[in-house]
Structure 1
């Protein structure tokens, strides 16, 4: 256990699920690492001994975290610091929270408690230069180095001094996913094919290889969303089938709901032609 970096052990004891990444990189040291992120000191000690000098990332979903990456211009195109300052002036202050200093670039990552609020995870929300992270997304924490600059990540405000506060309501509101588009009724002849399509989606998620369950869930949600967008399937039935599959595969429900919502919405925006068969 003596090989574990002290600050890493402290966050693990707080329930932050972490994984090792290659030195000077964001690439995990082994395949499927996101699904094996842990708080277990014995596992962390084995990883630290196997990959000495590696960096570390925290996976937001199992840690109950939402992280907001704030970019600085120079290594990034947009000025996230200015964008966040403008949002704070418009909507209100941010509460005290844990915060890192991004290695070499001068940016920061702000940590908040995630209580299951539906949030976007796309870069550039709620403004250019701001990158939200939740669910299976991971962010680098100390000790680690920036892959572009080689600078070390450090704690500006460590979480053992200031615990992650709830996400401010105004920030959660700005990051809320777009509402589901309306779906036209399905033609009878095409709708009769829907049960088989739904069952194939269910089995695909349940039988996905280790480390691929959430990726498969997203892909199948996109496929079913295309059917719903073409009026070939009931949206509620598609969503319920995917949720059932996620539950059977033991994907955490907040993470599953966000993945399903994102995949369905993407599919709804790209409806499939009614004459094509599902591969």
Structure 2
């Protein structure tokens, strides 16, 4: 509890992890029953992370040995996670490197900048080095894996780190440098900025006759029926796949978004998929499908 309270006092938003692990204790979206704090919609660990000392005492009184997670987004935190190679040979462009810190040092040299270690630093049992940096509230940087270079990951909005003082089965998270959390160096930002998403190509469908209403409805019923009749353990993936299939047709103007959503929600309800899980799966599938629009053709003579 002391670790969590100290982090919160420093302005970092915390939440409990299972003892000796880095897995959040709070329930995930797929297991959400939509009750209690989630009555108005699922709240994950990022939304529930807190600096409230009373809530922290309540959480850790219930589970005193829980580890401490720090939610990076709410904490205005960006953490560089520099991993050990564990004997793996570095790729040619990083030949000779044995740790992510070696790669970051070369990146700093290429940028003509000092190595950015003058900040609060934690070492995990792995061992990996976590360099903590402060960012603006609206910082767009998110989690990355290897984008900046070999053995360099990062945690930002949507991610968390394990606080020093927490323990895993293989050891303790310890403070390697007890310095104030420094602002994220500007030269580092481009290394973790995702490339711009290309504009979708304009697709010309040509002279394709739309399906008759009866055929459209039959197709919609067939796709939704696969969800309603999905085998145990496959409902979620089947729902996402069906939403993607209909999303492509929504993008092509064959169905409206409302038509697709209604059919999929009814099918998900028949298959007893939890409402919150169904809504997320349908939204994800439809959004992905719209990026690859297509049309159906009435092949009747």
Same fold (TM over 0.5): yes
TM range, smaller chain: 0.5 to 0.7
Per-residue CA shift, 1:123-179, capped at 9, x if unaligned? Answer: 1221121111111211101221235x2x11111233xx41331x2222111111111
Give how far 1:16 is off: 0.9
User: Contact between 1:117 and 1:172, CA under 8 Å: does it hold in 2?
Assistant: no
Alignment partner of 1:156 is 2:176? yes
For the residue of structure 2 that corresponds to 1:19, the secondary structure is strand
For structure 2, the 5+ residue unaligned runs are: 28-43, 91-98, 211-248, 266-273
Quote the Cα distance in structure 2 between the aligned partners of 1:107 and 1:137: 16
For the residue of structure 2 that corresponds to 1:43, the secondary structure is helix
Per-residue CA shift, 1:201-235, capped at 9, x if unaligned? Answer: 9xx9xx973xx79x939x8356424422x2x3xxx
Quote the Cα distance in structure 2 between the aligned partners of 1:198 and 1:86: 54
Residue 192 of structure 1 is matched in structure 2 by 253
Change (3 A) 1:208 1:143: farther
Quote the Cα distance in structure 2 between the aligned partners of 1:13 and 1:119: 25
TM-score norm. by structure 1 comes to 0.66
Alignment of structure 1 residues 33-48 onto 2, 5 Å = 33-48=45-60
Give how far 1:120 is off: 4.9
Residue 129 of structure 1 is matched in structure 2 by 151
TM-score norm. by structure 2 comes to 0.62
User: Contact between 1:123 and 1:130, CA under 8 Å: does it hold in 2?
Assistant: yes
User: Contact between 2:142 and 2:157, CA under 8 Å: does it hold in 1?
Assistant: no
Alignment partner of 1:49 is 2:61? yes
Residue 113 of structure 1 is matched in structure 2 by 134
Give how far 1:77 is off: 7.7
Quote the Cα distance in structure 1 between the aligned partners of 2:140 and 2:175: 28
For structure 1, the 5+ residue unaligned runs are: 233-272
For the residue of structure 2 that corresponds to 1:72, the secondary structure is coil
User: Contact between 2:122 and 2:173, CA under 8 Å: does it hold in 1?
Assistant: yes
Residue 179 of structure 1 is matched in structure 2 by 196
For the residue of structure 1 that corresponds to 2:168, the secondary structure is coil
Give how far 1:23 is off: 1.7
Quote the Cα distance in structure 1 between the aligned partners of 2:259 and 2:141: 26
Q: Which runs of 4+ in 1 moved over 6 A?
A: 75-78
Alignment partner of 1:58 is 2:70? yes
Over aligned residues, Cα RMSD in angstroms?
3.3
Residue 287 of structure 2 is matched in structure 1 by 224
Give the number of the structure whose alpha-carbon radius of gyration is greater. Answer: 2
User: Contact between 1:20 and 1:47, CA under 8 Å: does it hold in 2?
Assistant: yes
Residue 19 of structure 2 is matched in structure 1 by 23
Quote the Cα distance in structure 2 between the aligned partners of 1:274 and 1:183: 16
Give how far 1:199 is off: 8.7
Alignment of structure 1 residues 4-19 onto 2, 5 Å = 4-5=1-2, 7-19=3-15
For the residue of structure 2 that corresponds to 1:162, the secondary structure is coil
Residue 81 of structure 1 is matched in structure 2 by 101
Alignment of structure 1 residues 253-268 onto 2, 5 Å = none
Figure out how many residues of one structure are paired with residues of the other and give that number. Answer: 217
